[in-house]
């Protein structure tokens, strides 16, 4: 059993609080991603799980057992560093053997395991090379193999794919996910790239300034962001967030976008949530791929805007619309024929709008 | 990974011993510098670790040649040797740093100078005494013997390797793009060196100068060979302080030793972080 | 503004070839992008244009005039380096003033220009600060300001926004594009991020080991890659390739039991079928199509990538929205011949483009 | 087409090369000034019996030409080989001891602890003392009624008044102690830099793979410090071979020839025996020997480097 | 066997030396003319009738005054003439051993003028003294010669260095000026007793090259009180069969040394002789030269070394053996520390420069004893060896101080005149008596002078005379400095167990042969044999 529980975990460096009262349960055999911008405390959290850093407050349990007194080298945890931390003065074989040798594993067992790992990682003909001659991709494989060979119950990865070239990164994402399913290890994966988090993780913990913003499955975090930070951080291009005021012209609520005019609300779910809003200043959120570009007709819920920029990015085209001080992005698939300056109406998607309290940034009316 | 408590105690004990041993000789000289003439040599039984009556007599002696304790006739006071040490060290440093910096930049940036780097390093390999005869003859021939410029020139040459290699490592760390950015704006190479690269390594230049100054200030053998009377430096003068008549003038020499030891220690600690790079000719950076 | 032209250019350092047989003409006011993996000669091109490095053979023309051996000053080009190369010991104002003072421009003119550039790039409050006290984005804007301030013939930029974080990169590339369009400068932009290249470039050149593999507009290159190398490079998630043979109008790959008929193609022999993940259609297991199993599912919010195994080959399929597939379940794939490209199995050159 | 031709340079690059040559001029001149002319003079003088007391200028040395008489004499000069042997003895004892003490201290200072900066500065201080002054310090310490005997008496309880500097063996030991005191900090400084230079991540990786403190040191830190150790030993040995200041001030090479190093021997030949031509010969002999060792050393280091990369 | 020097209660070795030299304040202010130089000829009135110059202001001053017919008078007159002709410098620069400058700057007798003031008032030419320690004296002169820095007009150096400096053209011949100005150095009544001793101390290669300032014959002093002590008398007599007293042979001297080692409170050492590097050579020479009748030379007439014969090896073994009865720490001492040990009562006997009693057997101004041995000293002629009923007693003249004129000086004649004035018998007698410096009497006039007797004590002066008559020169050929260094280094190495006596002597001999070869063998042999004439031939009766 290798579930990981973080209870009121806090870490202070002088007066900087890197991790602030983090409570998280990583169930056994699950692949959890710690996602957030640089400096949000994700690596510090991982270091504390690994035992490299000591928590200022709170505790860490592995399968219910408190890890406070157990040093890093006794926690039986696999760890892959962003820059691989390969022992450059040793050959590939010696790197793979290191973990087993220091634990005093018996010679023949070491030979067997290393051979299996070399086959799995297709590193057989590289075993006796000096690591300084390996390519970046091969270094990555040795780094993972070196930890995997000790067959730890828990595997921690610190942005392992960020230095790889695009093609190999996509391949490795699939392989990593598949390895995790096969070996059924509890995996914690630190990254700042929301695409990697979405594609790999069973659950994503979004962190910012040391605080847990949201913890849920990729789709939950993507579809039901708890606040403007998560909304903005997930998705590429990011969600459009338009600050506006709730006005209840004639009983029903309407969204007043100031210099971009006001727009009625037809969507029942959105209306329900707007009623729960405590104060009038809100932030209205729409995903770029959910927005429809329609000709300007009166009565349709949306904002009259003008095309300010077009970005063709192969499989998709990102159309930039602007009105007054507001500007939004709309993602269309394939080549979307539209001229610069065209006057259009951005139509609000049914049932896929988000509303946040302007002051606290928290979502309004989520179950 | 917090260490168990007992290893802290062990660590502190050993460090305190090491620090004690490092300070003992300096402490003994410092206390001796303030001991009056009578306490210089005491019988072995009651050694005066601390001067019973502190006195500035020793300092007074080396600067004026007179003090109530010792009246041995003495040719000159310590004032001139201190001036000699200062002048020759500073000038030597100037020569080494200027020649070293220019050479280092040329080699680092333009890959010219062929044998210069190795040639300069080889200079450091030989015991000064092995090459001193011809230099002594040449210095006599040029009338440079016992002159401030003669000694400064040799100091400049002997510490050139340090200045050269130290500055080369600093220049290697300056990103090429910054210089190319200036070139693109039409700067001539020298203006790039003068207005862009040099200001960026100002602090390193100062540290190199201090490092070279310490080396010149600490020299004994070259000054012993190339000076006679006028421009004798502190170490040479200090060694001549003991005379047959007065025997070892412990107090006076200790006072002078203290004065000689202060500048290098102060400067040394100031440039602590460049010491490794300096002493290994840039082979190793902290 | 000026057009830039490199004709018959070769440059090598000792026996390592930096760039070879370069013939490139960048039109006036064009946002031209140079794209390729790290160390494929991109930066050498810029240094050749700037005059920091001389070509072994060939000529460099700016605005039609030969400048092959002219010093950088006479070429009136401005460069923004990858590490921005701001003068660390000078304030922002001094950094901006440097190009002007070097040209002996008199005081009042220098002040005027600095203030106008600071205005357009919103860096007026930063004029007194040293580079070390600026954020990544601010430093980047000051570097651009330094290039803008003397109104050069053309701009050269070497991966200027590579060091910024994702969000800021997306905004900065749009701002760069807008700035180029408003000031209508000729801009040569080097990057190894293919999304960035496609979003900003009017035209782009794909480089491999010092040679140009293809020149064209982003959509041209995306839709009609002239070789397997270019196809692999452009597009995220990357294009799928299936090796097999092509004979009398039909492509067959036994292991993956893929058979696709492409009419109007007469080639025969080893060939590689290539199809973009978004062009593959997944059908239920009872429908006609290539028999396959679901290997992995990567939900990405706006769309989902489904990794499908046919034979031992993994094919990535992009599906909009957030469908869920049961791992290992059987499906059928449909390769629409109109969406398939065909490359020569050996040379990797294009045989036939998809006709959609 | 790919014959090895000179790279084509822009005018800018050519200007750079010429400026570069001018900038190396001062350093080249200084090098020439100290190396070229004096070495020729030294060779010329070393082939004769010329001495300062012959009443003629050095360029008349040809009057007493004896070709390789001086060099022949070196091989039969017991005092020369005696002092050379003594110098190597000092290097052979002092450098390893300084190395071990330095390594021990470096291990003590490896991780952070309160007060580290202060102790670190104090530990560096001995190296910065003017060597002649350090020599005088230990001259005072080793007096028969001096503090060292006082400490030893306190420790041993019995009255210790050994005469350190007048006894041949004890004089040698006291000179070594002085040198060790002054130069152990150099070893400490370099080895600590080497130890700290080991990438942080590799140590963490080793820990997470289960390595305890000993494993970490023995398998990660120590192997990576090999080059640093070689640098420290080479630099210290070269400098130690030139030992003069401390030794000359403490014992002047005495008692008798007990602590006479090669440098002191050359100085006595220069000032006491005034045999300048013989000194010139010895000087050249040492230059050639050291250069050979250096060339072999550098060749070996490069070979090791290539082997490491292959 | 390192018998420790017990520091006696209270006063240290340093204080003892200072106390003994209390009478002579070594003034520090060398180099600037004394402030009390009287203007005009006020002092002239005090001169005896007919005298033109000399000291005034104390009883008996007239003995040292002179007129134009005397050596000093002629020198002063000539100096004044040169000054009038503008051929004299503002200041005459003199390099002198640090322990001798006091002769010129220390007023003696107390109420008399200093010699420097006498010269300056009579000639109007200032004197500037540059001090140097005896070990570095020769190197300093040579450096000035070889580097041509022309820092001094007058050099002082050991008489043995005349050869080196003449060959190096560092000093100029003085014969011509001596005749022109009539110096009284070789005057048989007042100056040098025999032409041989004159040649030895003033000439090189037949040409007078310097003026002798210092006799430096090694004279023995001993603790007379201890030999007259009845307890010691009896104990010594029944052990050795003869009454303790001045030893006649080296064997007797060693017996005394052996007996007195460890006696007395605090325990003293029998052999107080100088054994250290540079200074210890004279002690070895003293043992060696009396190993044959009439003399044990250093080289035979064909230039073969004799020091490594059985006689030389025996002398060296005895020299090493004598270390058992001396202070082991002494190997690092200079001459003043040996004096200090004797003054503190830690040594039984000491064979050193003849000025020893001048510093040790003194009385403070307030009548208290100057040192622990005041009034307890006696001296004796050099011990020797018996050959049948001949007793060969030999001492050596080692180091010493001669004045020479620098060949680079622009005022050579004037520099010579200063040497003639200060080296002539009258002024030199006043000079050598002066406890401010360590120059020793050697001229006949000095021995007869009452003031000299007062400083040197009447029991010591006749012994000095006898010793000078029995003294022999040490190596005085070009290259002597290097040859002496080799001898000194090998002796100390042998004494500290680094070599046996035979190995030490063989090594020294080999090195000396090499030096001869380098300098030209036959020329050197000629010089060595010529110098043999200067060796004493006095034979005493057993």
Tens digit of each residue's pLDDT, chain E (542 residues): 333 333 333 333 344 344 334 333 333 333 343 433 344 567 777 788 888 888 888 888 888 888 888 888 899 899 989 999 988 899 999 998 888 888 888 888 888 888 888 899 888 899 988 878 788 888 888 888 877 778 889 999 988 888 888 888 889 999 999 889 888 888 888 888 888 888 888 888 888 999 998 878 888 999 888 888 888 888 888 888 888 888 999 999 999 899 888 887 778 888 989 998 888 899 999 999 988 888 899 999 888 999 999 999 999 999 999 988 988 777 878 888 888 888 888 888 998 888 888 888 888 878 888 888 888 889 999 999 998 888 999 999 888 889 999 998 999 999 999 999 998 888 888 888 888 788 888 888 888 888 888 888 888 888 888 888 888 888 888 888 889 989 998 998 898 888 899 999 999 999 899 888 888 888 889 988 888 888 888 888 87
Chains contacting A (3+ CB pairs below 8 angstroms): B, C, D
Contact A80, A176 (CB under 8 A): no
Residues of C in contact with D4 (CB under 8 A): 14-15
- Mind listing the domains of chain B with CATH numbers? 79-234+272-279 (1.10.3720.10)
* C-chain residue closest to D12, CA distance: C71
pLDDT at B105 over 70: yes
Mutate to test the interface with C, among B180, B183, B185 (most CBs of C within 10 A): B185
Q: How far is D113 from chain A (nearest CA, A)?
A: 16
* Yes or no, beta carbons of C177 and A309 under 8 Å apart: yes
For B174-222, write each residue's pLDDT tens digit. Answer: 998 899 999 888 888 899 999 999 999 999 999 999 999 999 999 998 9
Angstrom distance (rounded) from CA B30 to CA B43: 20
Any idea what the CATH number is for the domain that residue A70 is in?
Answer: 3.40.50.300
* Yes or no, beta carbons of A146 and D209 under 8 Å apart: yes
Angstrom distance (rounded) from CA C183 to CA C144: 13
Q: Are residues D215 and D167 in the same domain?
A: yes
Angstrom distance (rounded) from CA C259 to CA C244: 10
Judged by a CB distance cut-off of 8 A, whether residue B129 touches chain D is: yes
Q: Are residues C164 and C244 in the same domain?
A: no
For A127-181, write each residue's pLDDT tens digit. Answer: 888 888 888 888 888 999 999 888 888 899 999 888 787 778 888 888 888 888 8
Average pLDDT estimate for B11-22: 92
Q: How far is B2 from chain A (nearest CA, A)?
A: 8
Mutate to test the interface with B, among C88, C94, C157 (most CBs of B within 10 A): C88
Burial class (CB in 10 A: 0-12, 13-18, 19+), A300: middle
Among left, alpha and beta (phi > 0; psi -120 to 50; other), residue E516 is alpha
Q: How far is D310 from chain B (nearest CA, A)?
A: 22
- Using CA atoms, how far residue A22 sits from A25, B42, C222, in Å, is 10, 71, 45
Residues of C in contact with A181 (CB under 8 A): 327
Of residues B145, B120, B88, the one with CA closest to residue D26: B120
Share of chain B above pLDDT 70, in %: 90
- C-alpha torsion angle, residues E136, E139, E140, E144 (rounded to 10): 180
Judged by a CB distance cut-off of 8 A, whether residue D206 touches chain A is: yes
In this predicted structure, what is the pLDDT of residue E17?
40
Q: Which of A178, A202, A232 is the last residue of a domain?
A: A232
Tens digit of each residue's pLDDT, chain D (310 residues): 445 566 777 778 888 888 888 999 998 888 888 778 888 888 888 888 888 777 777 777 777 788 888 888 888 888 899 999 999 999 999 999 999 999 999 988 988 888 888 999 999 999 999 999 999 999 999 988 888 888 888 888 888 878 888 888 999 999 999 999 999 999 999 999 888 888 888 989 999 988 888 888 888 888 888 888 988 998 899 889 989 999 999 988 878 788 999 999 998 888 888 888 888 899 889 888 888 887 887 787 677 667 655 5
Q: Which of C217, C232, C247 is the last residue of a domain?
A: C232
Q: Are residues A141 and A197 in the same domain?
A: yes
D11-46 vs D276-309: helix axis angle to the nearest 10?
140
Q: Are residues D128 and D204 in the same domain?
A: yes
Q: Are residues C16 and C147 in the same domain?
A: yes
Q: Are residues C82 and C193 in the same domain?
A: yes
pLDDT at C281 over 70: yes
Tally of CB atoms within 10 A around E293: 15
Residues in D whose CB is inside 8 Å of some CB of C read 2, 4, 7-13
Full residue range of the structural domain in which residue D302 is found: 28-53+274-310
Q: Are residues C172 and C267 in the same domain?
A: no
Q: Which residues, including other chains, have CB under 8 Å from residue E279's CB and lie 6 or more apart?
A: E333, E334, E335, E338
Mean pLDDT computed over every residue of chain B: 84
Does A237 map to a domain? Answer: no
Does D129 map to a domain? Answer: yes
Of A75, A83, A99, the CB nearest to D201: A83
Q: Are residues A36 and A69 in the same domain?
A: yes
Burial class (CB in 10 A: 0-12, 13-18, 19+), C251: buried
Angstrom distance (rounded) from CA C161 to CA A154: 37
- Using CA atoms, how far residue D261 sits from A38, A148, B123, D114, D163, in Å, is 61, 60, 21, 43, 21
Does D86 map to a domain? Answer: yes
Chains contacting C (3+ CB pairs below 8 angstroms): A, B, D
Of C83, C89, C102, the CB nearest to B199: C89
Q: Are residues D40 and D148 in the same domain?
A: no
Q: How far is A223 from chain C (nearest CA, A)?
A: 8
Mutate to test the interface with D, among E489, E490, E514, E519 (most CBs of D within 10 A): E489
Residues of A in contact with C222 (CB under 8 A): 312, 314
Mutate to test the interface with C, among D1, D6, D8 (most CBs of C within 10 A): D8
Q: Which fold has domain E217-398+474-541?
A: D-Maltodextrin-Binding Protein; domain 2 (3.40.190)
Q: Are residues C203 and C177 in the same domain?
A: yes
Does D63 map to a domain? Answer: no
Residues 27-66 of C with CB under 8 A from B: 50, 52
Residues of C in contact with D8 (CB under 8 A): 54-56
Of C71, C73, C87, the CB nearest to B178: C87
Of E12, E101, E133, the CB nearest to B41: E12
How many domains in chain D? 2
Q: Are residues A192 and A303 in the same domain?
A: no
Task: Indicate the pairing of strand C57-62 with strand C65-66.
Answer: antiparallel
- C-alpha torsion angle, residues D103, D105, D106, D108 (rounded to 10): 130
How many domains in chain C? 2
Q: Are residues A125 and A265 in the same domain?
A: no
**E114: which DSSP letter?**
P
In this predicted structure, what is the pLDDT of residue E39?
43
Q: Are residues D164 and D310 in the same domain?
A: no
How many domains in chain A? 2
In this predicted structure, what is the pLDDT of residue C190?
92
Does D139 map to a domain? Answer: yes
Q: Please report the sign of the dihedral spanned by the C-alpha atoms of residue C175, residue C176, residue C179, residue C181.
A: negative
Residues of E in contact with B72 (CB under 8 A): 26, 28, 98
Judged by a CB distance cut-off of 8 A, whether residue D211 touches chain A is: yes
Residues of D in contact with B217 (CB under 8 A): 130
* B-chain residue closest to A71, CA distance: B1
Q: Are residues D142 and D289 in the same domain?
A: no
Residues of D in contact with E329 (CB under 8 A): 144, 163, 166
In this predicted structure, what is the pLDDT of residue D175?
94
* Yes or no, beta carbons of A309 and C234 under 8 Å apart: no
Angstrom distance (rounded) from CA A3 to CA C276: 40
Residues of D in contact with E494 (CB under 8 A): 256
Q: Are residues C151 and C69 in the same domain?
A: yes
Angstrom distance (rounded) from CA C9 to CA C14: 16
* Yes or no, beta carbons of B175 and C52 under 8 Å apart: no
Task: Name the pLDDT band for B143 (thresholds 50, 70, 90).
Answer: confident
- Using CA atoms, how far residue D156 sits from A26, B207, D160, in Å, is 66, 46, 8
Full residue range of the structural domain in which residue A80 is found: 4-232
**Beta bridge pairs of residue A10:** A57
Tally of CB atoms within 10 A around A180: 21
Chains contacting B (3+ CB pairs below 8 angstroms): A, C, D, E
Angstrom distance (rounded) from CA A321 to CA A344: 9
Task: Annotate C321-336 with b (16+ C-beta within 10 A) or e (fewer).
Answer: ebeebeeeeebbbebe
In this predicted structure, what is the pLDDT of residue C162?
82
Any idea what the CATH number is for the domain that residue C199 is in?
Answer: 3.40.50.300
Can you state the percent helix, strand and coil of chain B, rounding each to 5?
70, 0, 30
* Yes or no, beta carbons of B189 and D19 under 8 Å apart: yes
**Beta bridge pairs of residue A11:** A19
Q: Are residues C42 and C189 in the same domain?
A: yes
Of E478, E493, E518, the CB nearest to D256: E493
* Yes or no, beta carbons of A167 and C237 under 8 Å apart: no
pLDDT at B280 over 60: yes
Residue ranges of chain A whose pLDDT lies below 70: 1, 249-252, 298-299, 367
In this predicted structure, what is the pLDDT of residue E22?
36
Full residue range of the structural domain in which residue C220 is found: 4-232
Q: Are residues D282 and D258 in the same domain?
A: no
Contact B78, B237 (CB under 8 A): yes
Does A142 map to a domain? Answer: yes
Any idea what the CATH number is for the domain that residue A327 is in?
Answer: 2.40.50.140
Contact D61, D45 (CB under 8 A): yes
* Yes or no, beta carbons of C236 and A166 under 8 Å apart: yes
* Yes or no, beta carbons of B119 and D31 under 8 Å apart: yes
For B21-58, write each residue's pLDDT tens digit. Answer: 999 999 999 988 888 877 777 765 677 778 888 888 88
Q: Which of C232, C264, C293 is the last residue of a domain?
A: C232
Q: Are residues A204 and A352 in the same domain?
A: no
Q: Which of C171, C201, C232 is the last residue of a domain?
A: C232
For C249, the enclosing helix (H) or strand (E) is none
Any idea what the CATH number is for the domain that residue D164 is in?
Answer: 1.10.3720.10
Q: Which of A232, A261, A296 is the last residue of a domain?
A: A232
Does A364 map to a domain? Answer: no
Average pLDDT estimate for C93-122: 89
Judged by a CB distance cut-off of 8 A, whether residue A113 touches chain D is: no
Q: Are residues A262 and A286 in the same domain?
A: yes
Q: Which CATH number fits domain E26-209+402-438: 1.10.10.10, 3.40.190.10, 3.50.50.60, 3.30.70.20?
A: 3.40.190.10
* Yes or no, beta carbons of C53 and D10 under 8 Å apart: yes
Q: Are residues C174 and C290 in the same domain?
A: no
Q: Are residues C181 and C327 in the same domain?
A: no
* Yes or no, beta carbons of D255 and E482 under 8 Å apart: no
Residue intervals of chain E classified under CATH 3.40.190.10 are 26-209+402-438, 217-398+474-541
Q: Are residues C245 and C227 in the same domain?
A: no
Q: Are residues C89 and C16 in the same domain?
A: yes
Q: Which residues, including other chains, have CB under 8 Å from residue B41's CB and lie 6 or more apart?
A: B248, B250, D143, D145, E12, E13, E14
Q: What is the pTM of this model?
A: 0.83
Tally of CB atoms within 10 A around D307: 8
Residues of B in contact with D149 (CB under 8 A): 44
Q: Are residues D140 and D49 in the same domain?
A: no
Residue C140, helix vs strand vs coil: helix
CA angle D203, D208, D210 (to 5 degrees): 100
Q: How far is E358 from chain B (nearest CA, A)?
A: 15
Chains E and B touch (3+ CB pairs under 8 A): yes
Q: How far is A116 from chain D (nearest CA, A)?
A: 18
Judged by a CB distance cut-off of 8 A, whether residue C215 touches chain B is: no
Does D239 map to a domain? Answer: yes
Judged by a CB distance cut-off of 8 A, whether residue D165 touches chain E is: yes
Q: Are residues C212 and C276 in the same domain?
A: no
């Amino acid at each position: 059993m290798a579930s990981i529980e973080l209870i009121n975990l806090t870490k202070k460096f002088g007066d900087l609080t890197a991790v602030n009262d983090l409570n998280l349960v990583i169930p056994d055999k699950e692949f959890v991603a710690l996602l957030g911008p640089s400096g949000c405390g994700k690596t510090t959290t991982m270091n504390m799980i690994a035992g490299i850093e000591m928590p200022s407050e709170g505790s860490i349990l592995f399968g219910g057992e408190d890890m406070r007194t157990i040093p890093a080298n006794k926690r039986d945890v696999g760890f892959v560093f962003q820059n691989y931390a390969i022992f450059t003065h040793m050959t590939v074989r010696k790197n793979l053997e290191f973990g087993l040798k220091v634990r005093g594993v018996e010679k023949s067992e070491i030979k067997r395991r290393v051979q299996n790992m070399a086959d799995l990682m297709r590193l057989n003909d590289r075993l006796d090379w000096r690591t300084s001659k390996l390519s970046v991709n091969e270094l990555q494989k040795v780094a993972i193999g070196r930890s995997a060979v000790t067959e730890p119950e828990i595997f921690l990865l610190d942005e392992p794919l960020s230095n790889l070239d695009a093609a190999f990164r996509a391949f490795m994402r699939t392989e990593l996910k598949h390895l995790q399913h096969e070996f059924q290890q509890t995996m914690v994966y630190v990254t700042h790239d929301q695409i990697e988090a979405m594609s790999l993780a069973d659950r994503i913990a979004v962190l910012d300034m040391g605080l847990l913003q949201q913890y849920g499955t990729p789709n939950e975090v993507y579809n039901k962001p708890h606040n403007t930070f998560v909304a903005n951080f997930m998705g590429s291009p990011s969600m459009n967030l338009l600050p506006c005021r709730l006005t209840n012209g004639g009983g029903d609520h309407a969204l007043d976008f100031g210099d971009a005019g006001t727009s009625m609300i037809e969507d029942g779910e959105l209306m329900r949530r707007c009623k729960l809003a405590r104060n009038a200043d809100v932030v209205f959120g729409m995903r770029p791929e959910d927005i429809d570009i329609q000709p300007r007709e009166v009565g349709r819920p949306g904002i009259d805007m003008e095309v300010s920029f077009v970005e063709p990015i192969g499989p998709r085209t990102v159309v930039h619309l602007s009105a007054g001080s507001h500007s939004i992005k709309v993602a269309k698939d394939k080549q979307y024929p539209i001229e610069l300056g065209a006057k259009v109406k951005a139509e609000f998607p049914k049932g896929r709008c988000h509303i946040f309290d302007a002051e606290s940034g928290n979502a309004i009316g989520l179950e | 990974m917090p260490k168990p408590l007992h290893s802290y105690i062990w660590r502190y004990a050993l460090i305190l011993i090491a620090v004690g041993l490092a300070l003992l000789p300096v402490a003994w000289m410092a206390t001796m510098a303030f001991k009056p003439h009578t306490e210089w040599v005491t019988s072995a039984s009651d050694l005066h670790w601390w001067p019973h009556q502190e006195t500035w007599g020793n300092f007074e002696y080396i600067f004026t040649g007179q003090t109530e304790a010792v009246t041995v006739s003495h040719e000159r006071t310590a004032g001139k040797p201190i001036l000699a040490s200062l002048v020759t060290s500073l000038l030597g440093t100037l020569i080494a740093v200027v020649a070293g910096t220019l050479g280092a930049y040329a080699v680092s940036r333009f890959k010219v100078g062929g044998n210069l780097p190795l040639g300069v390093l080889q200079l450091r390999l030989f015991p000064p005494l092995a090459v001193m005869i011809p230099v002594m003859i040449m210095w006599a021939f040029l009338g440079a013997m016992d002159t401030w410029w003669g000694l400064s020139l040799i100091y400049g040459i002997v510490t050139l390797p340090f200045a050269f290699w130290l500055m080369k490592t600093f220049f290697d760390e300056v990103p090429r793009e910054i210089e190319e950015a200036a070139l693109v704006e039409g700067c001539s190479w020298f203006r790039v060196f003068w207005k862009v690269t040099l200001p960026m390594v100002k602090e390193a230049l100062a540290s190199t100068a201090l490092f070279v100054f310490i080396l010149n200030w600490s020299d004994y053998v070259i000054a012993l060979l190339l000076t006679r009377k006028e421009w004798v430096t502190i170490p040479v003068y200090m060694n001549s302080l003991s005379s047959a008549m007065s025997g070892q003038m412990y107090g006076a020499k200790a006072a002078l030793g203290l004065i000689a030891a202060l500048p290098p220690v102060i400067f040394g600690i100031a440039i602590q972080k460049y010491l490794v790079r300096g002493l290994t000719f840039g082979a190793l950076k902290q | 503004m000026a057009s830039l032209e490199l004709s018959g250019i070769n440059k090598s350092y000792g026996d390592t070839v930096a760039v070879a047989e370069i013939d490139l003409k960048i039109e006036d006011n064009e946002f031209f992008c140079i794209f390729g993996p790290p160390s494929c000669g991109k930066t050498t091109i810029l240094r050749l244009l700037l005059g920091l490095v001389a070509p072994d053979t060939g000529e460099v023309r700016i605005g039609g005039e030969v400048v092959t051996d002219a010093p950088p000053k006479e070429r009136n080009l401005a460069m923004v380096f990858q590490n921005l190369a701001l003068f660390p010991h000078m304030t922002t104002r001094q950094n901006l003033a440097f190009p002007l003072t070097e040209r002996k421009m008199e005081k009042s003119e220098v002040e005027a220009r600095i203030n106008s550039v600071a205005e357009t790039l919103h860096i007026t409050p930063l004029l007194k600060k040293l580079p070390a006290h600026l954020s990544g984005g601010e430093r980047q804007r000051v570097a651009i300001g330094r290039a803008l301030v003397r109104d050069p013939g053309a701009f050269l930029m070497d991966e200027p926004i590579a060091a910024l974080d994702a969000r800021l990169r997306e905004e900065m590339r749009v701002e760069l594009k807008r700035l180029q369009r408003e000031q209508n400068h000729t801009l040569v932009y080097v990057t190894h991020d293919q999304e960035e290249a496609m979003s900003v470039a009017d035209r782009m050149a794909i480089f491999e080991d010092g040679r140009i593999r293809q020149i064209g507009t982003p959509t041209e290159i995306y839709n009609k890659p002239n070789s397997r190398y270019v196809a692999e490079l452009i597009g995220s998630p990357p294009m799928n390739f299936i090796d097999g043979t092509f004979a009398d109008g039909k492509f067959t790959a036994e292991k993956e039991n893929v058979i696709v008929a492409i009419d109007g193609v007469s080639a025969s022999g080893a060939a590689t079928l290539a199809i973009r993940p978004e062009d593959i259609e997944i059908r239920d297991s009872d429908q006609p199509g290539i028999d396959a199993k679901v290997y992995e599912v990567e939900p990405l919010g706006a769309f989902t990538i489904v990794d499908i195994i046919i034979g031992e080959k993994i094919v990535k399929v992009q599906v909009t929205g957030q469908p869920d597939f049961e791992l290992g379940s059987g499906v059928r794939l449909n390769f629409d011949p109109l969406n398939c490209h065909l490359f020569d199995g050996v040379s990797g050159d294009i045989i036939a483009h998809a006709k959609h | 087409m790919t014959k090895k031709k000179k790279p084509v340079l822009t005018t800018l690059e050519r200007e750079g090369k010429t400026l570069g040559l001018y900038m190396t001029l001062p350093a080249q001149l200084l090098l020439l000034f100290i190396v070229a002319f004096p070495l020729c003079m030294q060779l010329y003088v070393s082939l004769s019996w010329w001495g300062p007391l012959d009443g003629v200028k050095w360029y008349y040395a040809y009057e007493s030409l004896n070709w390789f008489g001086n060099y022949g004499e070196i091989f039969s000069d017991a005092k020369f080989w005696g002092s050379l042997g003594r110098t190597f003895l000092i290097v052979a004892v002092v450098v390893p001891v300084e190395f071990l003490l330095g390594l021990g201290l470096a291990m003590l200072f490896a991780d952070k602890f309160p007060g580290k900066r202060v102790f670190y500065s104090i530990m560096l201080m001995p190296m910065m003392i003017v060597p002649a002054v350090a020599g005088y310090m230990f001259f005072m310490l080793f007096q028969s009624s001096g503090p060292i005997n006082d400490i030893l008496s306190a420790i041993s309880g019995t009255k210790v008044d050994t005469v350190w500097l007048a006894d041949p063996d004890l004089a040698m030991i006291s000179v070594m102690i002085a040198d060790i005191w002054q130069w152990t900090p150099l070893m400490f400084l370099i080895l600590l830099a080497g130890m700290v230079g080991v990438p942080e991540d590799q140590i963490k990786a080793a820990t997470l793979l289960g390595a305890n403190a000993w494993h970490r040191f023995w398998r990660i830190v120590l192997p990576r410090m090999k080059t640093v150790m070689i640098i420290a030993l080479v630099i210290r040995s070269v400098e130690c071979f030139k030992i003069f200041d401390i030794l000359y001030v403490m014992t002047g090479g005495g008692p008798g020839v007990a602590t006479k190093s090669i440098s002191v021997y050359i100085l006595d030949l220069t000032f006491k025996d005034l045999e300048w031509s013989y000194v010139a010969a010895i000087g050249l002999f040492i230059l050639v020997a050291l250069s050979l060792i250096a060339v072999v050393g550098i060749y070996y280091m490069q070979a090791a480097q290539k082997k490491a990369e292959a | 066997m390192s018998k420790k020097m017990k520091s006696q209660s209270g006063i240290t070795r340093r204080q003892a030396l200072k106390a003994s030299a209390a009478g002579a304040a070594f003034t520090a202010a060398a180099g600037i003319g004394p402030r009390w130089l009287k203007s005009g000829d006020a002092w002239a009135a005090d001169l005896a009738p007919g005298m033109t110059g000399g000291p005034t202001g104390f009883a008996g001053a007239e003995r040292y005054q002179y007129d134009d017919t005397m050596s000093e008078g002629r020198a002063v007159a000539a100096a004044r003439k040169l000054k009038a002709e503008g051929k004299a410098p503002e200041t005459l620069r003199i390099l002198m051993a640090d322990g001798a400058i006091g002769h010129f700057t220390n007023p003696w007798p107390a109420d008399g003028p200093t010699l420097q003031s006498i010269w300056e008032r009579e000639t109007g030419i200032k004197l500037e003294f540059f001090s140097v320690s005896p070990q570095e004296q020769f190197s300093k002169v040579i450096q000035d010669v070889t580097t041509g820095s022309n820092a001094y007009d007058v050099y002082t150096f050991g008489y043995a260095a005349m050869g080196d400096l003449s060959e190096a053209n560092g000093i100029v011949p003085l014969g011509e000026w001596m005749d022109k100005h009539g110096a009284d150095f070789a005057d048989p009544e007042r100056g040098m007793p025999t032409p041989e001793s004159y040649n030895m101390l003033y000439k090189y290669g037949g040409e007078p090259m310097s003026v002798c300032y210092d006799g430096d014959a090694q004279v023995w002093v001993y603790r007379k009180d201890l030999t007259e002590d009845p307890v010691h008398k009896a104990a010594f007599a029944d052990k050795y069969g003869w009454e303790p007293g001045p030893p006649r042979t080296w064997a007797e001297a060693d017996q005394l040394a052996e007996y007195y080692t460890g006696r007395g409170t605090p325990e003293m050492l029998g052999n107080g002789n100088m054994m250290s590097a540079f200074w210890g050579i004279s002690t070895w020479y003293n043992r060696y030269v009396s190993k044959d009748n009439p003399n044990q030379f250093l080289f035979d007439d064909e230039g073969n070394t004799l020091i490594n014969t059985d006689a030389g090896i025996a002398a060296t073994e005895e020299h090493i053996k004598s270390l058992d009865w001396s202070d082991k720490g002494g190997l690092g001492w200079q001459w003043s520390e040996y004096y200090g040990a004797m003054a503190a009562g830690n040594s039984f006997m000491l064979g050193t420069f003849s000025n020893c009693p001048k510093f040790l057997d003194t009385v403070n101004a307030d009548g208290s004893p100057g040192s622990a041995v005041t009034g307890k000293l006696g001296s004796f002629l050099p011990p020797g060896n018996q050959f049948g009923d001949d007793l060969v007693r030999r001492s050596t003249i080692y180091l010493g101080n001669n004045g020479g004129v620098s060949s680079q000086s622009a005022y050579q004649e004037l520099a010579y005149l200063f040497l003639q004035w200060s080296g002539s018998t009258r002024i030199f007698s006043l000079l050598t008596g002066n406890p401010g410096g360590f120059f020793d009497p050697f001229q006949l006039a000095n021995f007869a002078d009452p003031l000299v007797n007062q400083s040197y004590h009447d029991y010591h002066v006749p012994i000095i005379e006898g010793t000078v008559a029995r003294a022999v020169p040490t190596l005085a050929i070009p290259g002597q400095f290097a040859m002496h260094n080799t001898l000194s280094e090998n002796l100390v190495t042998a004494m500290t167990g680094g070599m046996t006596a035979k190995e030490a002597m063989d090594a020294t001999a080999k090195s000396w042969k090499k030096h001869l070869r380098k300098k030209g063998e036959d020329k050197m042999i000629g010089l060595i044999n010529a110098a043999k004439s200067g060796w004493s031939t006095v034979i005493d009766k057993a």
